[in-house]
Amino acid sequence: MQMVYPDYYPSFSCIADRCKHSCCIGWEIDIDPESLARFQAIEGPMGQRLKESISLEETPHFILGEGERCPFLNEKGLCDLILHGGEEILCQICTDHPRYRSFLPGRTEIGVGLCCEAAGQLILSQKEPVKLCVSGTAEEPDAEAELLVALRQEALDIAQDRTRSLTERESALLERFQGWIPDLSPVQWAEVYLDLERLEETWTEVLENLRNQGEYIDREGFARYMKGRETEYEQLLVYFLYRHFLTAYEDGDVGSKVSFSVLSTRMLFLLGALCWTQTGVFTLADQVELARQYSAEIEYSQDNLDALFTMLM
């Protein structure tokens, strides 16, 4: 089996109680069968607490408490399950998050999602081009998968070609992979995203601000302000390409995956430009937060992904 990951991946670690947007709040936490059996075998007060905190209806899951908090997230922002039995006690989804995996025949790819602020900080702080680390070999090579992997590497090379501006790289990607993005105004793009499923009220406020003020954005001024920080948008483009390009193995549509990657990068630039136009400031922390919201709302909703992929076909 071949394992693949970005070179920054081993540096990721959860910041636990220092996280401002805990993944233990607002997310449905499903429990895999092995973990459920392990939880049900625990005795004593913790065993009773687990029994009272798990719903066995449909897919077993934790019953969220007030404010949609996991029942084991304590007032200090720490996990009582980990405090009781160490990280090994966690169910699979808690162990993995914000890690994601993509599977091709004989190949597993892993990364960390921008929906996590620690992952966003790590990814967007990278100054050097991303390299993919590969270990092992594919036992049964698949010609279609190998072709997609080679094409994605070509896309990543274009995205990280620093002899060209980011705009030139985006245009080159769309041309090379027959991508297409509708020519809409910022206000119209706000309407597109407002029509999608939304989770956080703060994301709705961001999009409504774009709808109401989009025509006043100073994009050229923002580009000058971000001089020296262009790598943040390169890292965003590379992240989206790495994560979504190979899903074309399922539907054969590379163009929409490249278009989505370019569109997502452009939307985050647009939202950053709006923030700067209104406040005169746009920090790395602001960038990480916008990326976190975008990822949580778009990448973690299959309906939203499907809607955008369909639009971009």
Taking only the tens place, the pLDDT of each residue in 87-144 is 888 888 887 778 899 999 989 999 999 999 999 999 999 999 999 999 988 777 789 9
Q: Find the helix or strand (DSSP H, E) in which 103 lies.
A: strand 99-104
pLDDT at 239 over 80: yes
Beta strands in 28-93 (DSSP E): 54-55, 61-62
The amino acid at residue 231 is T
- Residue 43 CA, chain-centre distance (Å), reads 37
Burial class (CB in 10 A: 0-12, 13-18, 19+), 241: buried
* First-to-last C-alpha distance (Å) of the chain: 32
Specify whether 58 is located in the same domain as 183.
Answer: no
Q: What is the DSSP string of 265-292?
A: HHHHHHHHHHHHHHHS---HHHHHHHHH
Query: In this structure, are residues 76 and 45 in contact, taking their beta carbons and an 8 Å threshold?
Result: no
298 secondary structure, DSSP code: I
Specify whether 66 is located in the same domain as 197.
Answer: no
- Kindly state whether residue 88 falls inside one of the protein's structural domains: yes
Q: In whole numbers, what is the pLDDT of the chain averaged over residues?
A: 93
Full-model pTM = 0.89
Domain boundary, last residue among 96, 112, 130: 96
Closest Cα to residue 144, out of 246, 1, 256?
246
Residue 19's pLDDT band, with cuts at 50, 70 and 90, is: confident
Tell me: the pLDDT tens digits for 240-272? 999 999 999 999 999 999 999 999 999 999 999
Query: What pLDDT, on the 0 to 100 scale, is given for residue 1?
Result: 84
Lowest mean pLDDT among 95-109, 164-178, 260-274, 286-300: 95-109
Burial class (CB in 10 A: 0-12, 13-18, 19+), 28: exposed
Specify whether 57 is located in the same domain as 181.
Answer: no
Specify whether 156 is located in the same domain as 265.
Answer: yes
pLDDT at 23 over 90: no
Specify whether 151 is located in the same domain as 69.
Answer: no
Closest Cα to residue 194, out of 42, 89, 82, 298?
298
Query: How many domains are contained in the chain?
Result: 2
